[in-house]
Structure 1
Amino acid sequence: MLGYIIRRSLYMIPVVIAISIISFIIIQLPPGDFLTSYISQLSQSGQAIDQAEIAALRARYGLDQPLYKQYITWVSGVLKGDFGYSFSWKRPVADLIWERLALTVVVSGVTMLFTWIVSFPIGVYSATHKYSVVDYILTFVGFIGLATPTFLLALVLMWIAYSQFGMSVGGLFSPEFVDAPWSLAKVVDMLKHLWLPVIVVGLAGTASFIRTLRANLLDELNRPYVVTARAKGLSEGKLLFKYPVRIAMIPFIATVGWSLPGLISGEGVAAIVLNIPTTGPLLLNALLQQDMYLAGAFIMLLSLLTVIGTLISDILLAWIDPRIRYE
């Protein structure tokens, strides 16, 4: 296992390099660049365009250089901790990312815990009481959760909270705490607003996990080893959680590779609707405005977390399922 982990860690280096090259090329594929979009905005607003200023900006940001030189400059800076300069925000990319990263991790982390805590017991109960009234109700609710778009659910819950309870639930803070320094009162205010994005983002994932766990557990409960263990007098609780549930949890473990980048990217559409200052809307804005350094830093970060998450998933799968051997 140790040798496998070392080999996989070494394989990650060329994979991340290849992903960074492809990502940088994709960002550059649309015609023009940030300055082209900037000039177009000035023209639409009727403002005068100073060609000398445009040329100076193009030279300053290296946009007049070949694509491979821009990539080398960017990667060289990343290795030194400098992710470049955001054209649209006129600030260093590192400051923008770290500024929103904490809130994104809090929202996504609580959502992931909510998804696991809710879906696991419901999925187990639904599988062990199949075709019961409760199972049908949970199945119906699960399908509703899978079919409802996150932005629509966000709008409905915001309307209910405002019309029925008089609560303004947009954003993560009340107006008086938006620009206030961090304090215990601001943390409490954030917790009061946190329930809505957690429910909105977590509902679809919860419904999906319930259906997956139920299907896998039903398949495992009919295996010969379960029938044999039950015939030998093993208690139902010990039989259920020591063997079938352990195997049925494999899809949960396998999704760690997707969960880590999800902690950073968040649910972009829901974040925009709910006006949450996370990194998802920032990434979308960077892609729309061709802010190549900001978009490239996000894609690099998400790609690295995906590769790391996949490695963690493989290690956990080998630990939880003795049938998996990497030697």
Structure 2
Amino acid sequence: MLNYIGRRLALGLFTVWAVSVLSFLIIQLPPGDFATTRLAELAASGNTSAIYEAERLRAEYGLDQPVFVQYFTWIGQVLQGDFGMSLDWNRPVADVIGDRLVLTMVVSVAAIIFTWAVALPIGIYSAVRRYSFGDYALTFFGFLGLAIPNFLLALILMYFGFAVFDANVGGLFSAEYETAGWSFAKVWDLFKHLWIPAIVLGLAGTAQLVRIMRANLLDELKKPYVITATAKGLTERKAISKYPVRVALNPFASSIGFLFPQIVSGAIVVSIVLSLPTVGPLLLRALQAQDMFLAGAIVLLIGVMTVIGTLISDLVLMWLDPRIRHGR
């Protein structure tokens, strides 16, 4: 078991390094750099020293160096816990990300908990009560959840919030807590606002996992060991929950690996619509401004979240399936 975990950790570290290289190179692909963007802004405002300002920025941040030199300089700082300076914000990247990363993790975990809490019982019910009215109704709503884009659902909730309840459903905090320091009252206010983004972000994943759970459990229910257990006098509930559900959870558990990054990357438009202070809008702004250090740090963190989610999936699968624990 320790060898299995060790191999997964080694592969995870290699994956993080590969993500850092690819993300840095992809960010460099668009023509120009941050200095070019700033040069256009200064020229549009009529600043006659725009060219000299752009050259100063390139020299100050090492943008005039070859790409591989810039990468090794950046990754060397990252290994020391320094993500560099944000060119657009003129502040350390760690300060710019700051609470946004924590809030992104909170929203992501809340969406995943909602996804699992809803998808698991509905998937089991749909498989056990196959072709019933409840199965058809839940299947219909599942396909509806897959068809509706997250940002459209966010807009619908905002409209009904204003029109019906005369309330602003956007953001993660009330107005009096947005700039206040952390306290129990602010945390409680966060949890009061958290359910809307959790539902919006988790709905599509919930509908998808319901279909996966239903299909997997239907395959298991047809196998001889379930029929034998029922014939020997086991109640339907025990016969289903003891083994078939546990086996059907394997693909269900493996979805954790892509839920983390999918929620972060897929939440950019939703975060803009709901005014969520997460890293999604920050990444969009960094890419538009070609702020390579900020964008590279966020993409690297998304890669790390992917590796962590995959590792959690592997550990859950190892706990669920003895064959994985014993290397078979």
Query: Do both proteins adopt the same fold according to a TM-score greater than 0.5, normalized to the shorter chain?
Result: yes
Please report how far the alpha carbon of residue 265 of structure 1 lies from its aligned counterpart in structure 2 after TM superposition.
5.0
In 2 relative to 1, CA 180–11 (structure 1 residues): closer, same or farther, beyond 3 Å?
closer
For residues 290-311 of structure 1, give each alpha carbon's deviation from its aligned partner in whole angstroms, at most 9, with x where no partner exists: 1111111112222223223323
For residues 160-182 of structure 1, give each alpha carbon's deviation from its aligned partner in whole angstroms, at most 9, with x where no partner exists: 01100100112112223222223
Tell which deviates more after alignment, 152-161 or 197-206. Answer: 197-206
Name the counterpart of 1:168. 168
In 2, the alpha carbon distance for the partners of 1:123 and 1:148 equals 20
For residues 51-100 of structure 1, give each alpha carbon's deviation from its aligned partner in whole angstroms, at most 9, with x where no partner exists: 33222211110001111110010011001110011111111011122221
1:54-65 matches, within 5 Å, as: 54-65=54-65
In 2 relative to 1, CA 13–114 (structure 1 residues): closer, same or farther, beyond 3 Å?
closer
Unaligned runs of 5+ in 2: none
Please report how far the alpha carbon of residue 123 of structure 1 lies from its aligned counterpart in structure 2 after TM superposition.
1.1
Name the counterpart of 1:272. 272
Aligned residues: 327
2:164 aligned counterpart, secondary structure: helix
In 1, the alpha carbon distance for the partners of 2:134 and 2:125 equals 9
Please report how far the alpha carbon of residue 261 of structure 1 lies from its aligned counterpart in structure 2 after TM superposition.
3.5
- Asked whether 1:97 is paired with 2:97, we answer yes
Unaligned runs of 5+ in 1: none
For residues 165-218 of structure 1, give each alpha carbon's deviation from its aligned partner in whole angstroms, at most 9, with x where no partner exists: 100112112223222223333333333322221121111111111111111111
In 2 relative to 1, CA 159–74 (structure 1 residues): closer, same or farther, beyond 3 Å?
same
In 2 relative to 1, CA 134–7 (structure 1 residues): closer, same or farther, beyond 3 Å?
closer
Q: Structure 1: which amino acid aligns with 2:327? A: Y
In 2, the alpha carbon distance for the partners of 1:240 and 1:60 equals 65
In 2, the alpha carbon distance for the partners of 1:209 and 1:179 equals 37
In 2, the alpha carbon distance for the partners of 1:147 and 1:181 equals 40
Identity %: 57
Q: TM-score, normalised by structure 1?
A: 0.94
Q: TM-score, normalised by structure 2?
A: 0.94
2:208 aligned counterpart, secondary structure: helix
Name the counterpart of 1:17. 17
In 1, the alpha carbon distance for the partners of 2:177 and 2:58 equals 39
1:82 aligned counterpart, secondary structure: coil
Name the counterpart of 2:80. 80
Name the counterpart of 1:191. 191
In 1, the alpha carbon distance for the partners of 2:8 and 2:106 equals 29
Name the counterpart of 2:69. 69
In 2, the alpha carbon distance for the partners of 1:260 and 1:202 equals 11
Please report how far the alpha carbon of residue 43 of structure 1 lies from its aligned counterpart in structure 2 after TM superposition.
2.6
- Contact 1:256–1:310 (8 Å) recurs in 2: yes
- Asked whether 1:112 is paired with 2:112, we answer yes
Runs of 4 or more consecutive aligned structure 1 residues displaced over 4 Å after TM superposition: 262-266
- Contact 2:35–2:55 (8 Å) recurs in 1: no
Tell which deviates more after alignment, 7-16 or 76-85. Answer: 7-16
Name the counterpart of 1:39. 39
- Asked whether 1:240 is paired with 2:240, we answer yes
In 2, the alpha carbon distance for the partners of 1:108 and 1:271 equals 12
In 2, the alpha carbon distance for the partners of 1:15 and 1:160 equals 43
In 1, the alpha carbon distance for the partners of 2:119 and 2:46 equals 55
Q: Structure 1: which amino acid aligns with 2:173? A: F
Tell which deviates more after alignment, 292-301 or 309-318. Answer: 309-318
Please report how far the alpha carbon of residue 113 of structure 1 lies from its aligned counterpart in structure 2 after TM superposition.
0.8
CA RMSD in angstroms comes to 1.8
Name the counterpart of 1:252. 252
- Contact 1:142–1:208 (8 Å) recurs in 2: yes
1:165 aligned counterpart, secondary structure: coil
- Contact 2:271–2:281 (8 Å) recurs in 1: yes
Please report how far the alpha carbon of residue 263 of structure 1 lies from its aligned counterpart in structure 2 after TM superposition.
6.6
In 2 relative to 1, CA 189–144 (structure 1 residues): closer, same or farther, beyond 3 Å?
same
